[in-house]
Amino acid sequence: MKNTLYLLGLTLAVYACGPKNEEVKDEQVTVAPPAEALDSIANTKKDGVLTDENDTNPTMPMPQPVMQLLSRQYTGWQQPALTAEARQQAADYVQGPMIVRGDFDGDSRQDLALQLQQGNDIVIVAALQEQDTVYKLQELKRDILFNERGKLKSLYYLYLVEQGKTLYNEDSEEAVDAAHDAIAVGIEGDDTAFLYNNGAFDTYSVSK
């Protein structure tokens, strides 16, 4: 009789010690290892519109839609090498000498301009953002690259002309204040501003 009561009590004790359905403890739940959980976040696909990364070597950071337009309209383009003089001339400016950003058409969206090499040519292009992530390209200038000891280099440098800067009409020599940002293109100290007016870029001299 005592043995029967002992076994019955032992069975009840074991049952009482087992977890109830609503009292499952953390250590009884199987979870993925921390590294695997982190990887699931890190491998989330990036938004191609927001990234400034590209596959051009060397890299010139710019929005992916602009990269796609350049690849279609300027096949095989690459970042040009600059002469030492061009680098020196550009040293005093915050932006440039390869790429500048600003609101060039006055619509409050950020645009950009860059110089690129296509074959033996140097090409300066503006990318105007017409809508969010939608751009159009306008070619501002094209010239041949400078042959420096057998290596093709650009003599040009870019910098930003901010809104309100005084410019001079190259034909009438009349002074005007830039209604919005403009693109300055310099070569050997001779600087020209490209200011957007009524759907096209007009050229001005930059005041010193």
Per-residue pLDDT tens digits of the chain, which is 208 residues long: 545 444 445 444 444 444 444 444 444 444 444 333 333 323 333 333 333 333 333 456 899 999 999 999 999 999 999 999 999 999 989 999 999 999 999 999 999 999 999 999 999 999 999 999 899 999 999 999 999 989 999 999 999 999 999 999 878 879 999 999 999 999 998 999 999 999 999 999 996 5
For the chain, the structural domain boundaries read 64-206
Euclidean distance between CA atoms 69 and 58, whole angstroms: 18
The pTM (predicted TM-score) of the whole model is: 0.70
Nearest to 100 by CA among 31, 161, 159: 159
- pLDDT at residue 120 in the model: 96
- pLDDT at residue 173 in the model: 79
- pLDDT at residue 172 in the model: 81
Give the DSSP letter of residue 3.
H
Nearest to 185 by CA among 126, 107, 119: 126
- pLDDT at residue 170 in the model: 78
- pLDDT at residue 208 in the model: 57
Euclidean distance between CA atoms 105 and 128, whole angstroms: 7
Euclidean distance between CA atoms 134 and 206, whole angstroms: 30
